[in-house]
Structure 1
Amino acid sequence: MLKHVLDVVDLLDSPHADGGTVAKYLEGLFASTAPSIRIETVEGESGSTDFVRVLIPGRHGKASGGTAPTLGIVGRLGGVGARPEIVGFTSDGDGAAAALAAAAKLLAMHDRGDVLEGDVLIATHVCPDAPTRPHEPVAFMDSPVDIATMNAHEVTPEMDAVVSIDTTKGNSIINHRGVALSPTVKAGYILRVSDDLVRLLGVVSGEPVVTYPITMQDITPYGNGVYHINSILQPATATDAPVVGLAITAATPVPGCATGASHEGDIATAARFAVELAKDFGAGRAALHDDDEYRTLLGLYGSMAHLQTLGTNLETTGA
């Protein structure tokens, strides 16, 4: 996995990084038939970005008419670079690097004959010249497109569960370098941390598993005026499938626009976790949530899906 991470980071650390160069790299890993890679350039108010979506078909996945569940792996970020203001690969780009390294590994496995049970859909975007924006305690990366556009291109109805990988270093809450796991979020409910995911992350990291707190603010959409730790759980506003945030973290607050702050070993840990989860989720050996318990909560307290919206007042006024 580390080889794929090194290749991907080198590829993304360029003012010319785009979806085409990523697709060419991934296609080169497939000796037989070409993989399913979709590239779409989207213009925003502050420039453009290339969305990249990769499908790795499973042995009994939906793409081939099967019923095995599909895992979505989303590399969430503002941009892999903040040029011309800042030169180099940003800390914020770690999520994209992890997702694309996982795609590279899964494609190489598939080409060798190690085909998983279920499909895996991997989505992220590549922008080498994204804007920055103020945030406390350190500056964040911004994006040429808004969160709703990201979700529309990165979260699809085929995904039965989503792991969102995002650099989450710009805070004073997670004082740990490596990776950290969030509770599962589903349709407005913050559920307990998945035992299956804790087991997998412990195996992959070889260390005690670190989890982190999330709040109701974090699982609401950007644009409602409340504080969010970052965009790691924004995919949960766009799907009823369970979503978990795998954070790439630091022991001190690090700006998302900082360069020289990426640790390839931590990116590889996140990517290996995503690959191992894909193996077990598609085969029915791992779940992001206890569905019976979720149904009990629905029966007791009703739907919390309104937390996936901007809220009554904002939606009424069109804000």
Structure 2
Amino acid sequence: MEPEPYLPYFDASSCPSSSRWWSRETMAVVTGGNGGIGYALVKRLAELGVTVILAARNREKGEGALMSLRAEGLVHVHFLLLDVSDPISITAFASAFKAKFGPTLDILVNNAGVSFNELHANSVEHAETVMKTNFYGPRLLIQALLPLFRPNSSNVNRILNVSSRLGSLDKVRNPEIRKVLEGEKLEDEEIEEMVRKFARDVKSGRWKSRGWPEYWTEYAVSKLALNAYSRILAKRLQGSISVNCFCPGFTKTCMTKGQGIHSPSHAASLAATLALLPPHLLPTSKFFLLRSSTPSRSHLSRL
């Protein structure tokens, strides 16, 4: 994916209240919201005046994060339990959201994700868990929450999937897989077959020779699948829900063992801007890429 010029710059923090399309009635769900980029994003959205549902799989950590935010005066934040790797938990989350808030969802940020590799190591020991959390989980959650997006919204509902440049097509060395994923008429079943093929290659021990991404392989394949699904979904929902992906870059989080070139708050600041773009600036089927220290110099690529 070659980067394209970034969209017209929009600073959500300096946007006057009279010009904002969002308000306290605007509802956002952020998964993996108890730490790292997720926590920083919940905080940023709440600071900007959005009501946020902090979703986390650990009740103690989720409630602790909620208490910390409310201690800072951010009272329009709520906690709901969600393990995106568990279909039953996803169903329960959707039911709890519907019971408490009704069909009022405006923004979904799929941020929760896992990787078990060290920075300079690579294994596929946890491939099944990584795929459940990073690809199947977001997909199932989107499907469960689609009926709960605000109907007839003039502001365009939006889904932002936190992904990675490691899931870019240029990381795939297998020409057959690349050809399928580059197809204009890509279907869900073709993505499913790619994931199943990867699982078979992992099980047979042949994944290294089959042209899969060479770095953080299981994580990269999960994001490759998520990016491909996002592209299909964007086409399917065009005109009603905007679907984009966002790579926060090398960020200092627990996944990187605290190493990185920028903070979770910096990545979250750009993610919040993307989630709150005015309807006339909001694209769909784009891959936003944080490359520099300033959001205005970021780039996007086509999914």
The answer to whether TM tops 0.5 is no
| TM-score, with length taken from structure 1 | 0.38
| TM-score, with length taken from structure 2 | 0.39
